[in-house]
Structure 1
Amino acid sequence: MSRKTFQRLPLDERRRSLLEATLDSVAEDGLNGASARRIAEHAGVTAGLIRHYFGSKDAMVRAAYGYLLEQMTAEATQSAEKGGEAPEQRLARFIVANVTAPNLSSRKVSLWATFIGRVRSDSTYADIHRERYREFLALLETLIHPLLLAFERPADPVTCQRYAIALNALIDGLWLEGGLGHGLYDARRLPGIALSAAEGILALPEGTLVQFIVDDG
């Protein structure tokens, strides 16, 4: 199974700033309140520039949702790439990056919750959501595959996908829980919880992933 490298979509700085401004507006004003005028105010541009880059405000809001998910996946992938070639270290760093800042934040959880309602009612949002999660699962599969081989375990595509689905559910749950900011526990516990649970899901020896919780630097 070849390693899939996640690539951010090429964006010029103006387009990127408009997408960031859109997310700022959605976070502050909600989807209904994120008008072209409000987004333009956040970006410090004229509303006409929105039409130039995206055609319409609705198209830009949809693009902003895809951009949000892409950025989160890219952050985690870049963290995994810093972990050297040991498959257990790469997977550990990928998991930890998803349950720590900057991916773990109340703002991102709030934005996700705002958009997810549209996913259920709008096929365009549903397509964006499905594609981004498909990419995330594929990345998990390429991280899981060499790890299973290293432990002389079955690593066929069906097995890797099954584990990827389970780890995705684990990551999503802890990300959502940690980003709510309810104060019931210290969010710094999440990496250890996530890695220990991942060891259980993958039936790995205790400490295989948890040992990498210490920051390399």
Structure 2
Amino acid sequence: MTGERRKFRREGEEARREALIAASLSLASKGGAEALTVRAIAEQAGVTQGLIRHYFHSKEDLTRAAYAALMDRMIRTSDALLAEAPAEPAARLASFVSASLRPPVMDTEELVLWAAFLHRLRADPEMRTVHETRYLAFRDRLQALIAAALPPGTPQHTLRARAIACNAVIDGLWLEGSALPEAFGPNEILTIGLTSVGAIVGLDLIPYLPEAAA
């Protein structure tokens, strides 16, 4: 019974932390990071300001947690689609790229949230660490997929350089597609992404264009 109570308490505490993070993201999507005051977060979440301080050391700590949650959410979406991809390495690489260039990852609100937090990187080293950790996690996944799709023995420095280049292409297209979705034709961003990443790594990824987008 004691173990069950402790598990229930941990789950309850985690749910409250997630509710505070969700409230922070909701506020940031409307008013930017400047809207994240302790009072506003408490009102949005329907809790007392003291409860926020119970779960987070400071408002900055909560802000970092919210940014981490945003980045993790996008990575999880890409990972979920990757889990459904065929076993063929080129198909898995194409699936991962495609997930980053389609809704719900490529989305105007996600871009607004990302931009709301981004300017804090220069002033907050811990926020920069949050960003760096997620960026490297995404790039490492991309590099591993590229390595699996290329001939064995491809030098690590080559894999690293191609992963960095492919990530830059994905980031740029995600930014433009999220900011101005109406400026592009159906699947235009996705097709450009697969073509560009394929050119960088030396593979034809267009045959793996998702059926829903083909």
Give 1:187 deviation, angstroms: 5.7
Residues 178 and 187, structure 1, Cα contact 8 Å, conserved in 2: no
Give 1:109 deviation, angstroms: 0.8
Give 1:74 deviation, angstroms: 1.3
Where does structure 2 lack aligned partners over 5 or more consecutive residues?
Answer: 1-10
Larger Rg: 2
State the one-letter code of the partner of 2:210. V
Residues 25 and 34, structure 1, Cα contact 8 Å, conserved in 2: yes
Distance 1:187 1:43, change over 3 A: farther
What whole-Å deviation, never above 9, does each CA across 1:15-39 have from its counterpart, x for those lacking one? 2222111111111122222111211
Give the Cα separation in 2 of the matches to 1:81 and 1:104. 19
Give 1:53 deviation, angstroms: 1.3
- Is 1:27 aligned to 2:29, yes or no? yes
Residues 163 and 202, structure 1, Cα contact 8 Å, conserved in 2: yes
**What corresponds to 1:82 in structure 2?**
84
- Is 1:193 aligned to 2:192, yes or no? yes
What whole-Å deviation, never above 9, does each CA across 1:153-196 have from its counterpart, x for those lacking one? x5232111111101100110000000102632236321111101
**What corresponds to 1:209 in structure 2?**
205
Give 1:47 deviation, angstroms: 2.0
Give the Cα separation in 2 of the matches to 1:158 and 1:58. 37
Give the Cα separation in 2 of the matches to 1:173 and 1:66. 20
What whole-Å deviation, never above 9, does each CA across 1:33-54 have from its counterpart, x for those lacking one? 2111211222222222211211
Return the match for 1:145 from 144, 147, 155: 147
**What corresponds to 2:183 in structure 1?**
184
**What is the count of residue pairs matched by the alignment?**
202
- Is 1:60 aligned to 2:59, yes or no? no
Distance 1:156 1:216, change over 3 A: farther
Residues 32 and 117, structure 2, Cα contact 8 Å, conserved in 1: no
State the one-letter code of the partner of 1:119. L
Distance 1:114 1:191, change over 3 A: same
Give the Cα separation in 2 of the matches to 1:196 and 1:145. 18
Where does structure 1 lack aligned partners over 5 or more consecutive residues?
Answer: 1-9
Normalising by structure 2, we get a TM-score of 0.87
Distance 1:71 1:187, change over 3 A: farther
Aligned CA RMSD, in angstroms, stands at: 2.0
State the one-letter code of the partner of 1:127. T
* Runs ≥4 residues deviating over 6 A: none
State the one-letter code of the partner of 1:52. H
State the one-letter code of the partner of 2:101. V
Deviating more after overlay: 189-198 vs 168-177: 189-198
- Is 1:162 aligned to 2:161, yes or no? yes
What whole-Å deviation, never above 9, does each CA across 1:120-153 have from its counterpart, x for those lacking one? 222111111111111111111111111002xx6x
Give the Cα separation in 2 of the matches to 1:93 and 1:26. 30
